[in-house]
Structures are given as structure tokens and as C-alpha cells.
Amino acid sequence: MPETVETFEFQTEARQLLDLMIHSVYSNKDIFLRELISNCSDALDKRRFEAIRNPQHLPHGTELHIYLQADQEHRTLMVADNGIGMTHDEVRDLIGTIAKSGTREFLRHVQESKTEGAGTSPELIGQFGVGFYSSFMVADKVTLVTRKVGEDTATRWESTGDGTYTLQPADREGPGTTVTLHLKQEEDEHFDEYLDEWKIRSIVKQYSDFVAYPIRMHVERTEGTGEEVKAEQRLETLNSMKALWLRDRSEVTEEEYNEFYKHISHDWNDPLSRIQAKIEGTLEYRLLLYLPSKAPFDLFYPSAARHGVHLYVKRVFIMDNCTELLPDYLRFVRGLVDSEDLSLNISRELLQQNRQIQRMGKGIVSKVLAHLKDLRDKEEVKYGGFWSEFGRVMKEGIFQDHENKESILDLALFASTSGPERTSLQAYLDRMKPDQDAIYFLCGENRKVIENSPHLEAFRDKGYEVLLLDDPVDEVWTSSVFEFKGKKFQSAGKGAVDLGTEEEKKQAEEARKEKEQTHASLLEFLKEQLKEQVKEVRLSSRLTTSAACLVADQHDLSPQLEQIMKAMGQVVPQTKRILEINPAHPVLQKLQGIYDLDKAAPELPDYAQVLYGQALLAEGGSLPDPAHFSKLVTELLVKAL
């Protein structure tokens, strides 16, 4: 009976991605071998871990290894392992579909790079989880044969990168995966070099020397002299297999540290920084952690499968993303922790209640935060780059990690009205006016919108600095954190504004009360006209040039936070805000004149609606009925002209 061959088509995005690989988006093609060896190493780690729970999955005497074979005659390079292997369905899901949720995002980044004339950025490939497909940079056909531990049958996957792939049953002796690359033949490229022993050796030495399993290859050597010369094949191990985190730091080069990072993170960039320590005492463990230089595309994907912090116990790999060791706001940290005290049989469920893990987690968080503080103090430019990539995530810790809230606030950088450069909160405090008792901030969609907000007019005129917060997470933490080093946080868009010296405040209050008496009946009329939209109409102490603005009461939700909560599916009751009117603006004088002449003037209700609408637009809000607002403005223009 003939074997069943299934043919599948890649989705549109996957075809485009394959096309990018085939046409070599990265000039250093050597890394394809690094990616394949990393995949082998991961598979071996998983089989060894599986054997802790199911010893029959790793029979006594079985040596886990990686095997390379170069076939000059058929121009093929084979990379094989005896790791965990894959089932038919896993091959289809993991190999048949490229980078699933990441593909479209990857292509968007590539397209943006082309539009900007920057070319395709190589680090994107590693970020988007498509390392296996780097094989198509050097091969015109890739064949994969795999058998899952505990399964009797194997699966063969094959593709020429033409937009389709095939799946069919296959034979394989023992569990594991074998990838065979049929190298391209192109005049202007030297793909044959990947069949050369010394080229393969150099790649393994450069990129994979520290892999914990032997990487072996049969090599040909000649022995004897004259007529006694004979060639023989011998099996040689190409890598040293030394655990990098156990070696003395003076013995490890920066390049080796960087390549180890790329191996465990599947990132093609060098890391930004490294944290290494040996913790001794009642709890002993080593850590080798890295801060990436670029944020991965899936940083804000809750369900993303990450290459986070690997957990080892006595040099035995346990898992590749131990979320119990680091809080969610540090999910970008990569690296490993090797414990001397945990049990090899520890499970994901036990980790969550394990006190040793909890203590280790606290120690690791302290190390990371201390390293970041050191980076901020000693390498300002590098730290600025880090904050640009990961600041939005770090700020989640302000409300998630009460114990380290102050430390994270101290590390945070914010845009402000003081200039184009971001500022720390300590620098803000150092610049505060002697009479200033609050740290002022304003949240909004983006910096430009916030800078143009009418809420800032009085602050700008009186020389008070305001933090410009344009990340959605800023709305969350500012609603739950109330002070820093004894100074309260105060939104420039909430409550009443009271700026200046005590004498200036007193004079301003007296002038405002006098104006309130003058315009009391008009303000009441406007409140009645806008009762469906606002809770109050009052004179403003924050406006100097604009006619009106909308503000929230001190403890009300901001419009932005309302939107965030609604997007999360939460039921949020409508919060009416306060319409503030500039007492010095000609609009108020004109309205008062019309009102004094005829309290029933037909245009007054329209003026009230226009005043509210323009206040909403000025803060970047959306009109509930744009067509009606446009009609009102048009009619008023006609009358005015």
C-alpha cells in the first residue's frame, strides 16, 4: 500500500517570508547552522527533562548528542539529534506554519524597513522565531524526518520553499530529528564551503562551542607515508561542552558570552548588558542573565511562548521559561539560573509553591534592579536605549510589585516640558520650585497631543514642569501610586489648579471669586444646556489662552483609563467631567454680553455645544456627533461673516 503524501500550502504571509529567506535577507549565512544546532540542543534538553519523570524515555546508556554529516557527492548537509522529536501534528503546527502570530508582524517590520530605505534588519529573523527557515538561505530543498519519544512512527516534512510543503509517514531508528539541507548551486555564491570540514568546525567553534551536548562529525584523516598512506574515517567532537556559567569569567571572551546569549534567546542581536553572579549561603545558585538590546515583537502578547529565563538544577536543564523566577514586568530578561538545592523532579506546579524558588526570585529581581541602577548611573546613553525598548514594560512593575515600587520609579524616565530629553523623577524633584508641593503630570495619546493640551497653559506660563505620559500603562500606575519621596503625584488634567506662592494663590482666588459673581448666571445657564455631558461649568485657573477645557474630578477615572478598561471588557459607568472656561478669554465676554441682552437668545444653546465640542477636540478626544458639530460651526460662521 503506497504511503500517504499530504501537500499543504503556506499561508500568504509565510510565502512572503520564505521568499525573503530564499533571497538571503542576511549576508552572514553561517548562522543557519547555529540556528539548527540550537534547535537540536533545545530538543535534547526537553528529552532529558522528560526522562526525569519518565525514565523509560531515556534508556540507560543512551548518550544525547548532535551529529553533523557533509556529503560532498550529493551536496547535502545533515544535522541530526536524538532529542524529544515531534509528532505528525506538531510538525504541521510548528514547522508547517511559519511563526504563526509573528509572521504578519515580521513582514510589517520588513516592509517599514524597505520604505525607510534601511534594508531588512537581520535581527528581525531571530525575534520572530523563524530560525529554522534560515536554512533556505543556503538550501533549495529542506527535508526533516522526526520521531517523537514514546511514538513508533516518524514523519517526513519537505519543502523547496515554493509555497508548499509535504508531510508523509517515514522510518527513523529511534527518537529525534534529522534535517537535511540540499545546498544551492549558484555561480556567485560559494555554498559548497558548508560541506568543508574546517568551515563547519569554525562555525561550531564560533557559535556553538558551549552547547552542553557533544556535536560530532565523521572526518577523514590520512595515516602513514608513501605506499602505506591510507584514509580512514573517525568520529570527532567539535565543541568543548563547557558550561559557560561555571567557567571563570576571565576564561570567557565577550564573543563567547554573546554567542551563548544568542543560543538561549534565539535573538540574532548582541545583548545590551549582562548580569552574572554566584549566590552562596543557605541557598546556592548561579545566574547568568542578559538584557536584550531590542524588544522582541511579542513583548505584549500575553500568550507568547518565550525564551525567558532557563532553569537548571545541578547543570540539568529543567525548563526554558521559568516565569516563577521573575515577575511579568521583567519578562524581557533572558539567561539562566542554575540551582544546587532544588530537586531534579520539581514540576511547574510545585514551583509555584516552592519557598526556595520564591527566595531565589526575590534575589534575582534585586540583582536585575541593582544592575539597571548601575547602568543608569554609569552608562547613560546605553540606559536610555534600554528604556526606549523596555520602559513601557518596566512601568508595569510600579503597580505590580509593591515591594520594589520605589526602585522602579527611581529607574523610570519620562518625557517632560523641561526639554526634549527624558528625565528621572529625582531630576524632576531637583528642579522643582521652592513652593511646589506636587509632581505634575499629564497623560495622553502621544507627546505632541499632550504638549498642545490647554491643560498645560498655566503651568507653562508660571514655569512649572509637567511630565508628559503617553504610554497606556501610565494611566494605570498613576491611578494607584500617589507619591514619590514625599511628593504627591498630581494630574494637570484633574481637579483645580493652584500654582504660585501663597500670596499669588490668594490674589488669584480673590480675582476668580469676583469673576464668578459676575458670570454666575451665565455659568448656570451653560451647565443647564450641557447637563447631559458635564457635571459642572466653572471658571478656570489653568487656562491662559484657550477658551475652555474639560477636567476630571480628583478621584474620577480619566477618559483614557475608561477606554482601557472598556477594551478589557469591563463595564465602566459614564463619568461626567467639568467644563472650565477661561475668565480672561473674549469668548466669555461676548457670551456674557449676548446673555445680558437676551437670556433666551436662540444662538446661546448652540454656542454652549460648540464650546464643549472644541474643548473635547483640544484634548484629542472624539466628538459624539461630528456631523452635528460641523453643522453648528458652519451656521455660526455664516452668521459671523
**pLDDT, the chain, mean:** 85
Reported as a pLDDT band with limits 50, 70 and 90, residue 416 is very high
Tell me, what's the pLDDT at 112? 62
**Torsions phi, psi of 412, nearest 5?**
-70, 145
Q: Which of 155, 4, 39, 3 is nearest to 86 (CA)?
A: 155
Which alpha helices (DSSP H) does 401-496 contain, by range?
A: 405-411, 425-431, 447-451, 457-462, 472-477
Tell me, what's the pLDDT at 130? 58
Q: Which of 446, 439, 434, 436 is nearest to 423 (CA)?
A: 439
Least confidently predicted of 19-33, 337-351, 601-615: 19-33
DSSP string, 383-414: HHHHHHHHHHHHTHHHHH-GGGHHHHHHH-EE
Which grid cell is 345? 523532579
Residue 186 has pLDDT above 60, yes or no: yes
Residue 98 has pLDDT above 70, yes or no: no
Reported as a pLDDT band with limits 50, 70 and 90, residue 375 is very high
d(CA 22, CA 135): 9
Tell me, what's the pLDDT at 198? 93
d(CA 627, CA 635): 12
Instruction: Work out the angle at residue 198's Cα, subtended by the Cα atoms of residues 194 and 200, and round it to the nearest 5 degrees.
Output: 45
528-547 average pLDDT score? 89
Instruction: Work out the angle at residue 46's Cα, subtended by the Cα atoms of residues 40 and 52, and round it to the nearest 5 degrees.
Output: 140
Which grid cell is 390? 523596555
Mutual orientation of helices 604-618 and 586-597 as an angle, nearest 10°?
160
Using DSSP's 3-state secondary structure scheme, residue 469 falls into strand
Q: Are 165 and 143 in contact (CB under 8 A)?
A: no
Tell me, what's the pLDDT at 317? 78
- Distance between alpha carbon 461 and the CA centroid of its chain, in Å? 38
Q: Which of 52, 55, 44, 53 is nearest to 84 (CA)?
A: 44
d(CA 480, CA 492): 16
pTM tops 0.85:
no
Which grid cell is 397? 512593575
Residue 315 has pLDDT above 70, yes or no: yes
Instruction: With residue 297 as reference, give the H or E element that holds it.
Output: none
pLDDT, tens digit, 9 for 90 and up, residues 263-301: 888 888 899 999 999 998 888 999 999 999 998 877 877
Which alpha helices (DSSP H) does 166-248 contain, by range?
A: 197-208
d(CA 543, CA 499): 12
Cα dihedral 578, 584, 586, 589, rounded to 10, equals 80
Residue 333 has pLDDT above 80, yes or no: yes
Residue 318 has pLDDT above 50, yes or no: yes
Selection from 195-209, 489-503, 513-527 with the highest mean pLDDT: 195-209
Tell me, what's the pLDDT at 129? 45
pLDDT, tens digit, 9 for 90 and up, residues 113-161: 555 544 444 444 444 345 788 888 899 999 999 999 999 999 999 999 8
Structural domains of the chain, with CATH: 6-237 (3.30.565.10), 244-377 (3.30.230.80), 518-552+566-640 (1.20.120.790)
Residue 2 has pLDDT above 60, yes or no: no
Tell me, what's the pLDDT at 477? 92
Which grid cell is 129? 522565531
